Structure 1
């Protein structure tokens, strides 16, 4: 039994460090293989061989405080042929009235109104009336960089197999410690993960806040699933299982509002964790087939992350029952594990700052806060996965997934 517990303890310590090394290596490979060329191209100026029509779809729910800023930035895109389609999903505030007023001022903006049915239904209704060959989804509280659309469209022109391109969300709520340390997550964890997953050919999820789709790819898979709590994870798997590729474009910058309270952050990550579990339950069996073997690394990564959470709970319960794990601390591995994990953490942030300073010049200022994020990330991941997996198993299939207004932090609301 002691050997088993020692093995579990080694796994709980080694897994986070191993994944950090995988993410760093993948991120660096992506940077030197592809990203540097795009950075050089950005300095010269991106020019596309053609500019297919793009529809910027903005699903909105209770976004009255933010939607004018979001739409204003979209209308200033430096792209020659686009329309903006805002879908008001039964908002209870003045979102609908604000959108109608904006539409009266600019003919490029079209507004749809529907009863509250969730983001996926809003996007599906938008798909029916959109005129664009490429559809770009933007959250109603996000600010899109003026050149982001062109950078995402480039991927569709380069390869007919590309079904979606996920952009590069950047945190703009940095007034509290929770807000500041999330800048570390988006660079040293989320950004590196997407680069690494792009290397081995499958992406767990697009960033729902900023993502472009090929219209024909969406239509081929039947659009978004309306019964999944995270429609972005689900559409990612549907597209890739149907044979489409998903690319990542760091130049497609989008500034997003993130929770700045513990409660808001927990609720958001619980939804993400539940969405990931729901997708595994629905699409995992299909991904296990031989013809879908390129998904196996992704399935292994997810399974290992869930196993790590429950392994941590097991050790915690054993310690509570008999608080003497001295035997687990014997050996050189455990003696040096703290130093090793700290060193890997600092290296991980060094790599992310090296890569992402091209897009966020102020990121280095948050380094003192960012170094705490791995601890927060893994503990938050632990709690949310433990709670989310049973919720996903017990949730009734076919139940419409509607949303609540997210917590964006008191400091940001005060500024508004």
Structure 2
């Protein structure tokens, strides 16, 4: 160890960070698996025994969504919930396409339903999803509020699951459901996204909830108490990742965010790399904003939920990203220069083991979804490690760059929506 070089230290740093996050994800996967076994035993008949049906306001923010908003609104209208206890508010935020025309047609076809369409102008709207949600919140009357993105088609009983869960205890400030990929068979990219959604998103949520009683709002398919939103003053309009940001504030109020995976919605995912890069860069930018905002107050944090999520985001966007960059640099230096790793040990075996663990971790997740655990998807997982996962590094770097640029120029949040197909 006395003869270790600078390259050796870099390599060890990358190795420790990579394995640290890998092991954390394995722990979360095992926790998620245990939670799935628990939740699968719940009898659906409990949804028919809700003693009190609170009034629910459903908010759907929309900006140039003519391709998908009609299908979404019809799915929401089909939710299995007393129609006198539900209102639907669509915030048509400065759309320049035929979004309003599509909405008016659906409203005309359902004259007996309470549907409110709010059309904003450049003065009041056009400032992003958070602003649109705040506009809808001010017009809403529900004791509980539910948010669906404009491309979502929730399953009929999903709202009942959300309501039943949040009404089960006053400890829950919000409850999130699970989202699935509607267009997963479109191409190779959507198949990768489908696997990512099942493993790194909903399985990680399940593990975090099972082991630590923590869940982060995903931006769609969630329910929240009106009293909570009033106490928070609504959504942070500077936050691009308004879902993550409001999760942190709910934690700080002392409430839990529960995860109910039986409340399912289906959504459309990007079908081209250009759209995918744009969407994921926005997510990374938004999460960096939240990380910086609350990391500045880390010594003021007493809530363990906030501290755990700060560590989790720091691990993903700082430690893991830097470890990937450093390992790539070390590899290139070893090929092109005399700066090589001098540590004794078979590090090829360590790398192969990490790859095998990755494939096993994701494959375990696929066994929990009907029709997903097949040879085609297992092969995709093996390929995914070298392709789709590597693109994440580019997305994270771009997200950090966009955050820094917006901070320096003091830009306000604007709509940067995902293109629909």
Separation in 1, partners of 2:160, 2:384? 33
Determine the structure 1 residue equivalent to 2:270: 259
In 2, the alpha carbon distance for the partners of 1:90 and 1:62 equals 8
Long gaps (5+) in structure 2: 1-5
Q: 1:26-41 counterparts in 2 under 5 A?
A: 26-32=31-37, 34-38=38-42, 41=43
User: How big is each residue's C-alpha offset from its partner over 1:44-88, in whole Å with a ceiling of 9 and x where there is no partner?
Assistant: 754312111111111111111111111111111111121211110
Residues 1:243 and 1:393: Cα distance change in structure 2 (over 3 Å): farther
Distance 2:360 2:353 in 1: 11
Pick the aligned partner of 1:327 from 341, 349, 352: 341
Match of 2:324 in 1: 312
Distance change (3 Å), C-alpha of 1:377 and 1:158: farther
1:83 match: 87
Unaligned runs of 5+ in 1: none
Q: Which residue of 1 aligns with 2:134?
A: 124
Equivalent residue number for residue 105 of structure 1: 109
- 1:8 paired residue number: 13
Residue of 269, 274, 277 corresponding to 2:288 = 277
1:271/1:294 Cα in 2 relative to 1: closer, same or farther (>3 Å)?
same
Distance change in 2, residues 1:342/1:378 (3 Å): same
Indicate the larger mover: 189-198 or 287-296: 287-296
* Cα root mean square deviation, aligned: 2.3
User: How many residues align structurally?
Assistant: 401
Residue number in structure 2 paired with 1:148: 158
Asked if 1 retains the 8 angstrom alpha-carbon contact of 2:10 and 2:330, the reply is no
For 1:73 and 1:113, locate their aligned partners in 2 and report how far apart those are by CA, in whole Å: 21
1:231-266 Cα shifts (integer Å, max 9, x gaps): 111111121122221111111111111112111111
C-alpha offsets along residues 72-114 of structure 1, whole Å, 9 cap, x if unaligned? 1111111112121111001010101221232233232111111
| Larger displacement relative to structure 2 (378-387 or 88-97) | 378-387
The alpha carbon displacement at 1:321 in A equals 4.7
After superposition, the C-alpha distances for 1:161-203 in whole angstroms (9 at most, x for unaligned) are: 2111111010112210000111111111111111122131333
* Counterpart-to-counterpart distance in 1, 2:281 and 2:273: 12
Kept in 2, the 8 Å contact 1:30–1:195? The answer is yes
1:341-370, Cα deviation, whole Å (9 max, x unpaired): 23212322332123233xxx4564644324
TM-score (norm 2): 0.88
Whether the aligned pair in 1 keeps the contact of 2:76 and 2:154 (CA below 8 Å) is yes
Residues 40-119 of structure 1 mapped to structure 2, 5 A cutoff: 41-42=43-44, 46-80=48-82, 81-106=85-110, 107-115=113-121, 116-119=126-129
Q: How many Å separate the matches in 2 of 1:54 and 1:259?
A: 30
Q: CA deviation at 1:392?
A: 2.0
1:200 to 212, 234, 242: 212
Mark the CA change 1:103 to 1:59 in structure 2 (over 3 Å): closer, same or farther.
Answer: same
CA contact (8 A) 2:59 2:88 kept: yes
Shift of 1:303: 1.9
Deviation at 1:213, TM superposition (A): 1.0
The 1:319–1:340 alpha-carbon spacing in structure 2 relative to 1, beyond 3 Å, is closer
Q: TM-score, with normalisation over the residues of structure 1?
A: 0.89
